[in-house]
Amino acid sequence: MQIINWDKNSPRKLDIISKYSFDNELYKIVRRIIQDVAKNGDCALRRYTKKFDEIDISPKKMLVTQGEVNRAYEKIDVKFVPLLIKL
């Protein structure tokens, strides 16, 4: 599994940006992607990972253990957890 480190200042940067601009077309595209992943699961996730990141992840590498999830929760700011639950 590839570990991605979250920059704790990123949410603040995103808040600042969102106060000043909103791209409705971009929102629609992102919304469609989220709906596709919600509907088609790993298949859609693999397709978008290949499209945007140019990485072909095998289903085996996509498996995340409960221990990995627990360790990830320990590393993030508590304020960020509700955002994950909404996804």
Please indicate, yes or no, whether the overall pTM of this predicted structure exceeds 0.85. no
What pLDDT, in 10s, does the model give residues 18-55? 556 778 888 899 999 999 999 999 999 999 999 999 99
Retrieve residue 39's tokens.
């509907």
Length of the chain: 87
Higher pLDDT, 11 or 37: 37
pLDDT of residue 5: 64
- Would the pLDDT of 86 be above 70? no
pLDDT of residue 68: 92
Going from N- to C-terminal start, the domains of the chain cover 10-86
Q: Which helix (H) or strand (E) holds 75?
A: helix 66-75
Mean of all residue pLDDT scores within the chain: 81
